Amino acid sequence: MAKKRRSSTRRRTLRAVLGRSARLAPAELIRFSQTLALGKFAQDLLPLLKSSLRADFVILLIVERASGYPRLCFTDLPRKDGFRKMLETTEVMAPFRLSRRKPVTIVDSGWLEKNLGERSRRARTPASLLVGLIPTARRSVAMALVGRKSRPFKTQDRVHLAGLLEPLRRPFDNVLLMEAYRELVIKDDQTESYNRRYFESFLDEELNRSLRYRSPLSLIFMDVDNLKEINTRYGHAMGSRALRELSRRVIAVIRRIDKIFRYGGDEFCIVLPQTGWQGAYEVAQRTRGAISRTPFLVSDTGGRSLTASFGISSFPFHADSKEELINLADQAMYKMKDAGKNSIQVAEAQKRGEPAGG
C-alpha cells in the first residue's frame, strides 16, 4: 500500500513538473523565437535554466558535430574556472549518443571522470550535472550543462530540463542559421580567416572595449614572404590553397578571443584583445614557427616552404587611435620585410619603453 502511495506521489510530481514546464514554454518560446542573435539567445537561456532548476551554474556549449570540440561557450562561471576551461578544450561529444527522442541525460561526477579522464578530476567536477543535448539541423549541437556543487539532481529535474529544452530546438536552429549567414558575410571566401570589412568593425569594437576597461590591445600585421613563387610555378589556385592552410595554422596557435583577418592579397592581421606588445610578440613567435616549421601543399607539390614577416603595435602603448595602430604595425612589418624577412618587428614606442625586434 505504501509502495502504491509512493508511486502515485511520484506520478503527481512528474505531472506537476511537466505542467510547469508546459506552462512556461509558450511564453518563453515567443521570446526565444524572436531572438536571432546567438549571444542574446544564450543570455536569456542561462538564467532561465539556472533559476528553474535551482542550479549553481549553467554552461552552454556549441559543439561541432564532426570534431566533437566546442567552438563557443556561454556561462556564468569565471574564465579561469578549471571545470569551464576543461570543457572548452575537450572533445566533449564523444561520450554522448544523440537521440532526438531523449535529448536530456543525467551525468554525475564519477561518470565524467570515467569518460573525460584525469583532466576532469583536476578540474574539480561538480557533484551532479544535468547535460541536455539539442541536436539541430545544422552541423552543431547545443549542450546545456546545469550543475550543482553539492545537492544531487533527481528524476523530476531531468523531466523539467527536457520540458525547457524541447520547445527551443526550432528557435535554436533559426539562430544557428542566422549565424551561418553572418559567417558568410564576414568570412574571406578563399581562406578560413575573416575579411577586411569585418576587420574594421571588429577593431573598432575592441578598441572601445579597451578604452572602457583600460586594457591593452595589440595588432599583428603579417605578410607571406614567398607566396609569389607558388603562384608563378603552380598557379593562383594552388596559392589560394596555401593561404587557406596558412590561416588554419594561425587559428590553431591563437586564443578563441583572437581573430585573424585577410587584409588583402597575402597580407593578414591578427587582433589580440587584452594583450600588450610583449604577449603579441610571443604570439608572433608561435605563428612564425607554425608557418615555417612544416612544408605546405605536400600532397600536391611534394612540399613548399613558406615564411612570413611580422609587425606589431599595441594600444595604448604605441598608438592612441585605430589609424595609428594600423599604420605602425604595417610600417613595422615592411621594415622587417626589407631587412630580411621571416622575422618580427615591434613598432617604435611613441610613449615609453623600447621596441623589440627579432
Show the cell assigned to 88.
572548452
Tell which CATH architecture fits domain 2-184. 2-Layer Sandwich (3.30)
What's residue 18's pLDDT? 43
* C-beta of residue 147 within 8 angstroms of C-beta of residue 129: yes
pTM: 0.60
What's residue 173's pLDDT? 85
Residues in the chain with pLDDT < 70? 1-27, 66-67, 89, 93-106, 108-125, 138, 350-358
Show the cell assigned to 186.
564576414
What's residue 61's pLDDT? 87
What's residue 329's pLDDT? 94
What's residue 101's pLDDT? 57
Unique residue bearing C-alpha cell 578540474: 123
What's residue 199's pLDDT? 93
Burial class (CB in 10 A: 0-12, 13-18, 19+), 48: middle
Mean pLDDT (the chain) is 81
The identity of residue 206, as a single letter, is: E
User: For residue 342, how many other CB atoms are within 10 A of its CB?
Assistant: 17
What's residue 271's pLDDT? 96
**In CATH, what number does 187-346 get?**
3.30.70.270
205's CB contacts (< 8 A; 6+ apart) are none
260's CB contacts (< 8 A; 6+ apart) are 193, 194, 247, 250, 251, 254, 268, 269, 270
Handedness of CA 103, 109, 114, 119 (dihedral sign): positive
Domain ranges of the chain: 2-184, 187-346
User: For residue 96, how many other CB atoms are within 10 A of its CB?
Assistant: 16
